[in-house]
Amino acid sequence: MNDLLIPKFKAEFSLSQFQANLVQSFFFGAYCLVSLAYFLISAAKGDPINKIGYKNGLIVGLVLTAGACLVFVPAANAASYPLFLVALCLLGSGVTLIQIAANPYISILGPESSASSRLNLSQGLNSLGYVLTPLIGGTLIFQSAGGNSGLDTVKTPYIGLAVILLSLATAIKFIKLPTFRQEGTIEAGVKVFRHKHFAWGMAAIFLYVGAEVTVGSILVNYLENIMHFTEEQGVKYLSFYWGGLMIGRLMGAISLSELGAAKKFPMMVAAAAISVLVIFLSAKGKSDLTVGEIWPYLVTVALSFVFFRLGNALPGRMVGLFALVATVLSLLAMTASGEFALWSIVGIGLANSIMWSNIFTLSIQGLGKDTSQGSSLLVMMICGGAVLPALQGGLMDAFGVRASLSVVLISYLYLAFFGFVASKFGKETRELPTA
């Protein structure tokens, strides 16, 4: 929804791109603040989620997120951009708590050997939300309906989200879920940096999330500038951008599953085909978009199979290869025109798909008793989504949209270095297969 709010608020409040991108800064800035607070509390008094349970942790996060959605109503009534930013900060805080509870819970729900597969599957389903949001949210926000116009169009989707989140929290309250308790205590002090590769991993998470969010944030405005699209036309391509993450993550989940080798490839093809169909139907909506118009996207999806094969399910190699693909696409988005520019920036989403799980796996590999501390700090690095969009917005205001993508280009160059080189610093063990 943030990607839709940026062009909406920019127009309604006559903001610069830097000011509009503060939407992401306040949302993802909450990740940094809440994760840091959580880390300090855990180090001093023990893990809060471990004390109250993963189930209660999810409920608290969902309720806080729902409450933050309702703050959008008075913000719209008051036509107050600062109040919208406060609501986004609260929203980010709730989502952070959900992430802190959900990610480790998913990991320990089954064998450690298939943890990456479960995480990829959950992230793939999460990406489905990114695909459907532009259709639903974009229609509500950018098209006046029911007499609503201006900022009033923001109310309906966020009231709807609040109702859904509260319903989900209620359902979880009454559903029986497995309970786990992690034993042991966290050592005093910050010990995790004794592992040479970890700091490089923190920077990788920071830059990956920052680059991913930056491209999503700027996509609509980029297409307005380069392709001369309207907001309504540009929004549908958000489905293709975020849908790329869904395709790659579902393929990754299948590649790490316990299916036989003979079944994996056809299952990956089926997952990609179904995902593309969902993305196309979501983007099409009421427009006249045809399959013939998206052939470059289909080529990108087909080529991803080649890079999955070349990566051979090794995390460092996968990050390096897909980061190089993203680097080339970023260069094309900065220099090309027409369809090449359009599908180059959209295609970055597919290159992003395998980044999170692989970078996370590489960063915590071999941490031993420092794993819990490292995980908290890695979640904190999601604040890259707060910093890089603001930096890109400032560069866009000063030098234009193409030059501002240099932030993204530099990020992917670093990720290629991390995947091929820095992720191995100080490690004596061989890479473990992942997605």
Band (pLDDT 50/70/90 cuts) for residue 431 is very low
Average pLDDT over all residues of the chain: 84
What average pLDDT does this structure show over 79-88? 95
Q: Is residue 431 part of a domain?
A: no
Question: What pTM does this model have?
Answer: 0.79
Question: In the predicted model, is pLDDT for residue 435 greater than 50?
Answer: no
Band (pLDDT 50/70/90 cuts) for residue 432 is very low
Measured between alpha carbons, how far is 75 from 73 in angstroms, rounded to an integer? 5
Question: In the predicted model, is pLDDT for residue 71 greater than 60?
Answer: yes
What average pLDDT does this structure show over 158-187? 81
Nearest to 101 by CA among 166, 47, 37, 33: 47
Give the list of residues 6+ apart from residue 263 with CB closer than 8 angstroms, or none: none
Q: Are 249 and 308 in contact (CB under 8 A)?
A: no
Question: In the predicted model, is pLDDT for residue 190 greater than 80?
Answer: no
- DSSP assignment string, 266-313: HHHHHHHHHHHHHHHHHHHTTS---GGGGHHHHHHHHHHHHHHHHHTT
Tell me, what's the pLDDT at 186? 47
399-410 pLDDT, tens per residue? 999 999 999 999
What average pLDDT does this structure show over 101-116? 72
Rg (CA), the chain: 21
Nearest to 365 by CA among 272, 428, 297: 428
Tell me, what's the pLDDT at 316? 86
In percent, the amount of the chain with pLDDT more than 90 equals: 39
215-242 pLDDT, tens per residue? 988 998 899 999 998 877 888 888 899 8
Q: Is residue 118 part of a domain?
A: yes
Tell me, what's the pLDDT at 434? 47
Tell me, what's the pLDDT at 327? 97
Q: Is residue 349 part of a domain?
A: yes
Count CB atoms within 10 A of the CB of residue 321: 22
Question: In the predicted model, is pLDDT for residue 259 greater than 70?
Answer: yes
Q: Is residue 258 part of a domain?
A: yes
Measured between alpha carbons, how far is 289 from 294 in angstroms, rounded to an integer? 8
Q: Is residue 181 part of a domain?
A: no
Supply the CATH number for residue 73's domain: 1.20.1250.20
369-406 pLDDT, tens per residue? 666 667 778 878 888 988 999 899 999 999 999 999 99
Tell me, what's the pLDDT at 366? 74
Tell me, what's the pLDDT at 97? 87
Q: Is residue 274 part of a domain?
A: yes
Write the DSSP symbol of residue 432: P
Tell me, what's the pLDDT at 181? 58
In percent, the amount of the chain with pLDDT more than 70 equals: 87
The region of weakest confidence among 75-84, 188-197, 213-222 is: 188-197
The region of weakest confidence among 39-48, 246-255, 266-275 is: 39-48
SS (HEC) of 71-118:
CHHHHHHHCCHHHHHHHHHHHHHHHHHHHHHHHHHHHHCCCHHHHHHH
377: containing domain = 2-175+191-424
Q: Is residue 116 part of a domain?
A: yes
Band (pLDDT 50/70/90 cuts) for residue 126 is confident
Q: How many domains does the chain have?
A: 1
Output the CA torsion 378→2→282→327 (10° steps): -50
Question: In the predicted model, is pLDDT for residue 127 greater than 70?
Answer: yes
The region of weakest confidence among 52-61, 248-257, 368-377, 390-399 is: 368-377
